Structure 1
Amino acid sequence: MTSSLSLTKKLVNVAMGRESADMVIRDGVWVSVQSGEFIPNTDIAIVDGHIAYVGGDASHTIAQDTKIIDAGGKYLVPGLLDGHMHVESGMVTVTEFVRTVAKRGTTGIFIDPHEIANVFGLKGVKLMVDEAAGQPIHVWVQMPSCVPSAPGFETPGAEITPDDVAEAMTWPGIIGLGEVMDFPGVFNAGEKMMAEIAAARDAGKVIGGHYPNLNLGTIFHGYVAAGIEDDHEGTRVEDAIARVRQGMKAMLRYGSGWLDVEGQVDAILKHKLDSRRFILCTDDSHAGTLTQDGHMDRVLRHAIDAGLPPLTALQMMTINTAEHFGLTREMGMIAPGRWADVLLVEDLNDFHPETVIAKGQVIAQKGKITIDLPSVDYPVWARDSVKLGHPLKAEDFALKTEATVGTPSAPLRAQASVTANVIGVIENQAPTKHLKLEVAVEDGEVSLPLAGGKEGGADIAKLALVERHKATGDVTVGLVSGFGFSEKCGIASTVAHDSHHMLVTGTSEEDMAIAANKLAEVGGGQVVVKDGKVIGLVELEIAGLMSTEEASIVAQKATTVLGGFKACGCTLSNPNMQLSLLALVVIPELRISDMGLVDVINFELIPVIETGK
């Protein structure tokens, strides 16, 4: 690696023409996000992966061996940065994620690997950090802060302690503390959260936020007072305004399932807040979205459609992001001394980079990667994470009740109706509804007629969480509404934020058992079973979260899962991602965990079936 002294001398000498550049890009329109200008007829001289000169004529930096790229009047755009995301949500490894997004113009990602941390703890984070270090683009890691996300309400496969956080703050590649999801632990000044935040602050690192609560009163102020510096959980314009006024960066996310840009962009467009306090990010992007629609290029096109000027939207995914993480000396703009992360783009309103340059190297041309990516060998322990204890049977998914109907002394009738606390899915949003619905009971078990089927039932399905880290054999059974299943089926997923046990839903206990056992057999993933047969499957052998295959292959397999949902009668746009969040006990209103049904508004465990009537 070039030393700072050597690099500084070389940059100065190339800028002065005393030494030649490795590469010169000629005659482009400089998108100067730092000054808010479009500057035509611009050349860029690059040496040792960094920009030495940006100006009207770089001919003085050119020698016989200098590589010349003729921009031909195309826009010269800084590489795009994703300020908050989880690689695991793409169902691929860091390397395969980079292979997919770099060709679309993403040259920097800020990843929070709290998914793998919930399975393997600190060694899982280190696995991701080590892989990140070898990538051709910039991959910064935020140390997961909340494992478990809500202590006392779930049991993950591992735990992250304040000592773990303090240790990670010393690792190269760690840029900050990952999203602080245990917001009650913050506003109640809990010891664990206070210690982790202090460790990050003492190390001079950025502290990421996660505040999904709609309450912007005292508890919100208590959360901000802890030093939380950004948040991506806002969905309303008032959320964005409140965060920016309190000194946070509002991260507007546009992932596969969470479409929160349009709901907040009026904070800039109508309320005229300073756009430099806003960042665009993805949070969670499915492999199908990445391969078919894009990554930050997709976010940019959407942000422009939502009304943002192209330059403003670009600032929100380049210089704003770099500034937030204290990296403007290194990236986020096209300027001398920074890494040469440059995109050649024909049309900013229909953003598709023709050439992608990262760290001074052409890595993609016309949507295709032009370099070799690192090969990674994953340890055996990373592939051995689904431990059920014993094969599951249909009776494991029975929902029994001793609830009475009428007076407490009256016997339970052969068929009766009881009130159940049911998780209500909200399409394209992370929050859920806490529903109270009537369900039928037959011989002491909840009986569910099919929604929309011949039996004319309500839209209710079984939802179970199967412990898969310690092989306890425990199964927690609840109810969910919103999937609209009209066929008998069973669907299982080891992608189950954040504790990543196994989630199983469906209308047939037999199919649910087959689905769960299939995932144990293949080492994790997502599967759909209908009438006893597997009709959709994507295998995710690394931690039950990621595949080592290319994203295009993973996307094809994931498409079979989406097709399986549809075959079961589901019409949601991203049902697999909606399912994966039903165990996320830090987002209101109702979730399931290995400890039971969690009321996230009041942070208490409640029964599935209300006793008495």
Structure 2
Amino acid sequence: MMIRYVGAAVLAAMAAGAQAETVVVTADRMVDVLAGRVIEQPVVTIVDGRITKVETGAATALPEGAERIDLPGKTLLPGLIDMHVHLDSNPRYGGYSSLQFTDLFWPVQGVGNARDMLHAGFTTVRNVGSEGYSDVAYKQAIEEGLMEGPRIVPAAHALSATGGHCDSTYLPPSFEAVGKAVGDGAQELRKRVREQRKYGAEVIKVCATGGVFSRNTEPGQQQLSEEELRAIADEAHQWGLKVAAHAHGAAGIKAAIRAGIDTIEHASLIDAEGIRLAKEHGTWLAMDIFNTEYTQAEGARNGVMEDNLRKDREIAQLQRDNFRAAHEAGAKMVFATDAGVMPHGTAGGQFRIMTEYGMTPMEAIQAATRNAAQALGRERDVGAIAAGRYGDIIAVDGDPLADVRQLENVDVVIKGGEVVKSD
């Protein structure tokens, strides 16, 4: 049970229409992801949405007039970070079934997806590809207090080659359907980077290989040259943006790493040389090894075409085996689910699979906190319960280091010092 104690000074301020500025959170335990240890009897002080100090001990003196949130029996963790989501996607509508809806249906239904991710404990997400700049709109609406959701790092439209994954490949020529960020050649793709940044992208997403859920592409196919990928990376880095490359195939993965791209998404068919290059370049791997369970169980019923399900079956186990190999080799890894391929609220299910394929529970949690913050370049803001960072905290019953499945049902979510979900 969560107990909230509000001091008399705070009640007086609230009566006058003001809000409490100081919040103190206590619990039985806290996972310190920076030190890789558990702290007993944590006392976390949050002022104006940011953590000012982390202390220990039940007898710690609390600031005068602070709002107190006591979570007896629970374990605190930093708000989780999912590095690969699609908030305007919905797995219930696969293949051609999505065409039954008007265009604006997709950003509207995504409002619920954003809420579901937040309530699942993900206080920050990187949205790597959307339509109509919906992820930029969600970010703006959340920051204005008009909708509920996590902190969003938007990519806007994903860059692609003509006819490749992330282009529009389902419709016949008479529709003249073209992806909004398609480019051929280094100069065109540099322009696409500038366009996405102009309209709000904070990370650039590029599709370097074919994919599972596109038509007329194969996951192993490289679809942009190393020269084109380097132009994208150089242009993005010039503007201070990081780049995420969708890349299933071994050749495309290695070309993206050599080109200077920051994170490799999926990395399903990565080989030993690719793992070596990732370590050498400090490239992060974002491998979504959970969602295939949903796709294979529900995909056909949701309208996903057999050819797409075939591709998913062919690479699913290979990706999980390569996740294990990359982890054993010491590659840098982050938590990434591709939520939108499976329901957003189930993203915490990936922790179980990560531990089944080699990670300890602490390593899996660090992938979704400390590591993700490093990959985002946001170590001063998110990814740990530490002074200076946002007051983004989740709480679960029991010990998630003994049973990582505790993270599938988060009991309390605090964002910026404000309780947004509690049991």
TM-score, normalization by structure 1: 0.48
How much does 1:35 deviate? Answer: 1.1
Contact 2:226 2:259 in 1 (8 A): no
How much does 1:176 deviate? Answer: 1.3
Within-5 A mapping of 1:110-259: 110-114=126-130, 116=131, 124-125=132-133, 127-135=134-142, 136-148=149-161, 150=163, 156-160=177-181, 162-170=190-198, 174-181=201-208, 184=222, 186-187=224-225, 189-190=227-228, 193-215=229-251, 221-236=254-269, 238=271, 241-242=275-276, 244-247=278-281, 248-253=283-288, 254-255=290-291, 256-257=294-295, 259=316
How much does 1:184 deviate? Answer: 4.7
Q: Where do 5+ consecutive residues of structure 1 fail to align? A: 1-19, 117-123, 367-613
1:318 is aligned, of 365, 369, 374, to 369
How much does 1:146 deviate? Answer: 2.0
SS across alignment from 1:156: coil
Bigger relative CO (Cα 8 Å, ≥ 6 apart) = 2
Question: 2:123 maps to what in 1?
Answer: 107
Q: Describe the superposition over 1:135-168 as per-residue Cα deviations: whole angstroms up to 9, x where unpaired.
A: 2420111243424554799563443254342143
2:396 is aligned, of 328, 342, 345, to 345
Moved segments of 4+, more than 6 Å:
none
Within-5 A mapping of 1:444-523: none
> CA, structure 1 residues 111+226, in 2 after alignment: closer, same or farther (shift >3 Å)?
same
Question: 2:63 maps to what in 1?
Answer: 62
Contact 2:84 2:128 in 1 (8 A): yes
2: CA distance, partners of 1:224 / 1:209: 9
Which structure shows the higher helix fraction? 2
1: CA distance, partners of 2:224 / 2:256: 6
Question: 2:414 maps to what in 1?
Answer: 357
Q: Describe the superposition over 1:326-373 as per-residue Cα deviations: whole angstroms up to 9, x where unpaired.
A: 00110011101111110111131132221111122111113xxxxxxx
Q: Describe the superposition over 1:98-133 as per-residue Cα deviations: whole angstroms up to 9, x where unpaired.
A: 12121111111101224x2xxxxxxx12x4302222
Letter in 2 for 1:163: K
Q: Describe the superposition over 1:359-409 as per-residue Cα deviations: whole angstroms up to 9, x where unpaired.
A: 22111113xxxxxxxxxxxxxxxxxxxxxxxxxxxxxxxxxxxxxxxxxxx
> CA, structure 1 residues 320+298, in 2 after alignment: closer, same or farther (shift >3 Å)?
same
How much does 1:67 deviate? Answer: 1.8
Q: Describe the superposition over 1:189-236 as per-residue Cα deviations: whole angstroms up to 9, x where unpaired.
A: 24xx55433321101211111222244xxx654432211122123235
Contact 1:236 1:263 in 2 (8 A): no
Question: 1:369 maps to what in 2?
Answer: none
TM-score, normalization by structure 2: 0.68
Q: Does 1:279 align with 2:334?
A: yes
2: CA distance, partners of 1:232 / 1:99: 24
Contact 2:27 2:70 in 1 (8 A): yes
1: CA distance, partners of 2:339 / 2:154: 15
Q: Describe the superposition over 1:13-66 as per-residue Cα deviations: whole angstroms up to 9, x where unpaired.
A: xxxxxxx962111133121111111111111011111111111158444323x2
Letter in 1 for 2:42: T
Q: How many residues align?
A: 324
Q: Where do 5+ consecutive residues of structure 2 fail to align? A: 1-19, 92-105, 143-148, 170-175, 182-187, 210-220, 296-311
**What is the CA RMSD across the aligned residues, in angstroms?**
2.9
Letter in 1 for 2:417: G
Question: 2:351 maps to what in 1?
Answer: 300
Contact 1:111 1:141 in 2 (8 A): yes
Contact 2:246 2:266 in 1 (8 A): yes
SS across alignment from 2:203: strand
SS across alignment from 1:210: strand
Q: Which has the larger radius of gyration?
A: 1
2: CA distance, partners of 1:198 / 1:246: 19
SS across alignment from 2:363: helix
Q: Does 1:331 align with 2:358?
A: no
2: CA distance, partners of 1:306 / 1:184: 27
Question: 1:399 maps to what in 2?
Answer: none
Contact 2:394 2:413 in 1 (8 A): yes
1:262 is aligned, of 293, 304, 320, to 320
Which structure shows the higher strand fraction? 1
Within-5 A mapping of 1:378-389: none
How much does 1:74 deviate? Answer: 1.8
Contact 1:28 1:43 in 2 (8 A): no
1: CA distance, partners of 2:335 / 2:163: 27
Q: Does 1:97 align with 2:116?
A: no
Letter in 1 for 2:246: H
Within-5 A mapping of 1:550-565: none
